[in-house]
Amino acid sequence: MITTILKSATLLLFFLVSLPLTAQDFQAKAYYMSKTSIDMDNFGRPGMSEEQKKQIAERMKSMLEKTYVLNFNKTESNYKEEEKLEAPGQGQGARFRGIMSSFTGGNQYKNIKEKAFLQDQELFGKQFLIKDSLPQINWVMGSETKQIGQYMCFKATATIPDTNFDFTRFRRRSQHTTPQQDSTQTKEPETNNSEKLIQVEAWYTLQIPISQGPGEYWGLPGLILEVSAGRTTVLCSKIVINPSEKVVINKPSKGKEVTKLEYQEILEKKMKELRENFRGRGRGGRRG
């Protein structure tokens, strides 16, 4: 009985705090930090030393730490990476970052009322416009809570398809793998990223009762402030409610229009070409 009363009081408090957000002209900005780790045991060429792996990991660390801004109102949002100034003498790093940018999401637009999703995506100089419906996420909401900044957050979990780029797929196949090993009963058929499933843990706040979040995440009764999926964690660092300067929600419109699945197929083809190129260079190097 006491627990029920406390829960009701908590929900009432969130409701009272959230009343200003019900204004028709509500708009806000949320800033997020994203960090991604790489399993170095499955990355790079066979025989790479631990010291070499460590050097590569340090070099890639800054490339895998990004900041984003989510501009949103009651129905729409725009999620975009903040651009970084390139430090002097980082030519090689800039080239590698350019390759990586082709495998990371561009400007993303969500409309939760129309269930619409748009993404501006460049792939090795070619512009695409990914146009699809918002992915339906079957959240399981729990009672666990934690504080993120000034906001009380609730935990939710889900299992979703993994559409993120996997760097380990550039790893060359082991020379010790034989056709017989490849044809064992435990062999799994090759699939694209969209067919892999990952566990997602999200933390949302009822103090901002807007069903938005970073990237493609949405569908909870409050703004998602933190989300972990696979090796990536995204955490909100600051929220500005109804800023003095009007929030602009850009809607991507340029590029060849494709669905998410069609783009994944194009990406898989490009990845295959890159792997073949890397293998060809390796064979050429051994001959020399």
- pLDDT per position as a tens digit, 138-195: 999 999 999 999 999 999 999 998 766 555 444 444 334 444 444 334 343 344 444 6
Helices (H), ranges, 169-218: 179-182
Residue 7 lies in a domain: no
Q: Is residue 280 part of a domain?
A: yes
Q: In this structure, is residue 162 part of a structural domain?
A: yes
209 occurs within a structural domain:
yes
Q: In whole angstroms, what is the distance from residue 260 CA to residue 119 CA?
A: 9
Could you tell me the two tokens for 190?
Answer: 């090759």
The CA distance from 118 to 263, in Å, is 12
Does 251 or 23 have the greater pLDDT score? 251
How much is the pLDDT for 160? 92
Asked whether residue 12 is assigned to any structural domain, the reply reads: no
- With beta carbons less than 8 A apart as the criterion, state whether 184 and 178 touch: no
Determine, yes or no, domain membership for 211. yes
217 CB neighbour count, 10 Å cutoff: 23
State the Cα–Cα distance between residues 212 and 225, nearest whole angstrom: 9
Domain assignment of residue 74, given as a range: 21-84+92-174+190-287
Three-state secondary-structure class, residue 153: strand
Q: Which residue has the higher pLDDT, 51 or 98?
A: 51
CB 118 within 8 A of CB 129: yes
3 belongs to a structural domain: no
In a domain, 180, yes or no: no
- Greatest mean pLDDT among 18-27, 32-41, 76-85 lies in 76-85
Domains of the chain: total: 1
How high is the pLDDT of residue 32? 97
Round to whole Å and give the CA distance between 268 and 288: 31
**pLDDT attached to residue 134:** 94
When mean pLDDT is compared across 39-43, 148-152, 234-238, the lowest value belongs to 39-43
| Largest CA-CA distance found in the chain, in angstroms, rounded | 78
pLDDT at residue 21, as a whole number? 59
Taking residues 54-76, report their average pLDDT. 82
What token pair was written down for 154? 């609730």
